[in-house]
Amino acid sequence: MSDELAATAKELDAGDELAAVRARFVLDDVVYLDGNSLGALPAAVPARIEDVIRREWGELRIRSWGESGWWTAPERIGDRIAPLVGAAAGQIVVGDSTSVNVLKALVGAVRLVDDAEDTGDIREPGYTGVVRDEIVVDATTFPTDGYIAESAARLTGRTLRPVPPGEVPAALSERTAAVLLNHADYRTGRLHDLPSLTAAVHAVGAIAVWDLCHSAGALPVGLDEHGVDLAVGCTYKYLNGGPGSPAYLYVRREHQDRFDSPLPGWNSHAEPFGMREDYEPARGALRGRVGTPDILSMLALETALDVWEGVSIEAVRAKSLALTDFFLECVAAYVPEGRVESLTPVRHEERGSQVALRCADAREVMRRLIERGIVGDFRRPDVLRFGFTPLYVGFADVERAARILAEELR
């Protein structure tokens, strides 16, 4: 069986239309299956950052804000991310962390609802006079999103209601102000139904906020197509921006003139160098900016996005599903029966770009895998998590990972 699956992997790699993209990254003989935590280094980034430091900062110094385009980086890079999440230009601004952007988006969402109710311009089926006093949050969310949601509820005088994603439609009502959901579950890789959940949120007149950290760069999102109101995401996972690279905020065009960020800063002012005492927000998604952009990591991200030249997100999704299918096939063939349990959905429409395996001694198993050059990660209490980044993971990598996993589990 091992020989057969190794031969299959070789055939699949030979027919992989994305195989050449691997050369755009700095890689070694390690099988790197942790790109859903930190993407690999794009090969062009070191030289770009050296130029930024030595020439733009070292020689041009403050002139680089204008001459090197530092000032416009947040929106310029946002426009490069936009096609990867299905958004038109002018709706994404890059900066700050995911956590900070969650706060902006969630408080901004509640303020959008409050403003609509004050003006009578609420979504269908219409404002009925009931106070929208609830924020619904994904009960399985990454902890920080939950912490921020709880704080946003206190800041806006709302009650926080944690609900499992599958139960969200039934939990929604005319009391719902905003809903914060994850597109893909960070533990299991389960992909939640963004189109139908967004439609359900809109049906009760609420605002939909999506966290795209585990889907952007791994699969089509369709923000514009599906009417998402606000979205946030990080750039250091499937977008390969580097450790701590800045996150982004999507503000749907129709909401931009009413989006009221809870973090107004001089960078989001209509006249940032006017130094006025009164705050007037900039036009468009720029009102999502706050303070001085983090230029070094911002420009590393901009160069990292060059790896997407000539790559379609649809091709990435097709390979992602093929990789995860093949990994599950290899695990079933190699691993002793009953030793692991897959938490990852079988159906493609419910699967992100990772596989999670429940294993009684998961922490120790992952430690040994890493020692043998198979890098995934461990999630408490008993989950082995493997992320599949189609831009640089091949089918031979997948077969090797499953085979070594089986050896350790025996």
Q: Are the CB atoms for 293 and 73 separated by under 8 Å?
A: yes
- Annotated active-site residue 22? The verdict is no
CA distance 392 to 397: 10
- Annotated active-site residue 236? The verdict is yes
- Annotated active-site residue 368? The verdict is no
Express as a percent the part of the chain with pLDDT over 70.
97
Report, as an integer, the average pLDDT of 258-265.
Answer: 98
The reported pLDDT for the residue numbered 2 is: 82
pTM of the model: 0.96
Catalytic residue among 211, 294, 377, 397: 211
CA distance 214 to 85: 12
Catalytic residue among 161, 289, 385, 403: 385
Averaged pLDDT of the chain? 96
Q: Alpha-carbon Rg of the chain, whole angstroms?
A: 22
Domains of the chain in start order, with CATH, are: 2-35+311-409 (3.90.1150.10), 72-292 (3.40.640.10)
User: Could you tell me where the DSSP H helices lie in 130-239?
Assistant: 143-156, 168-171, 194-203
Look at residue 192 and tell me whether its pLDDT is greater than 80: yes
Reading the block at residue 375, the tokens are 């890098």
Catalytic residue among 237, 287, 289, 351: 237
pLDDT tens sequence across 195-232? 999 999 999 999 999 999 999 999 999 999 999 999 99
Q: C-alpha angle 218/224/227, rounded to 5°? A: 110
Q: Are the CB atoms for 222 and 86 separated by under 8 Å?
A: yes
- Annotated active-site residue 237? The verdict is yes
The 10 Å CB-count burial string (b at 16+, else e) for 28-59 is: eeebbbbbbbbbbbbbbbeebbeebeeebbee
Look at residue 169 and tell me whether its pLDDT is greater than 60: yes
pLDDT tens sequence across 107-147? 999 999 998 876 655 554 445 567 999 999 999 999 999 99
- Annotated active-site residue 142? The verdict is yes
CA distance 106 to 160: 12
Beta strands in 187-251 (DSSP E): 207-211, 230-233, 248-251
Catalytic residue among 25, 142, 186, 259: 142
Fill in the DSSP letter of residue 219. Answer: S
Fill in the DSSP letter of residue 103. Answer: H
CA distance 324 to 343: 12
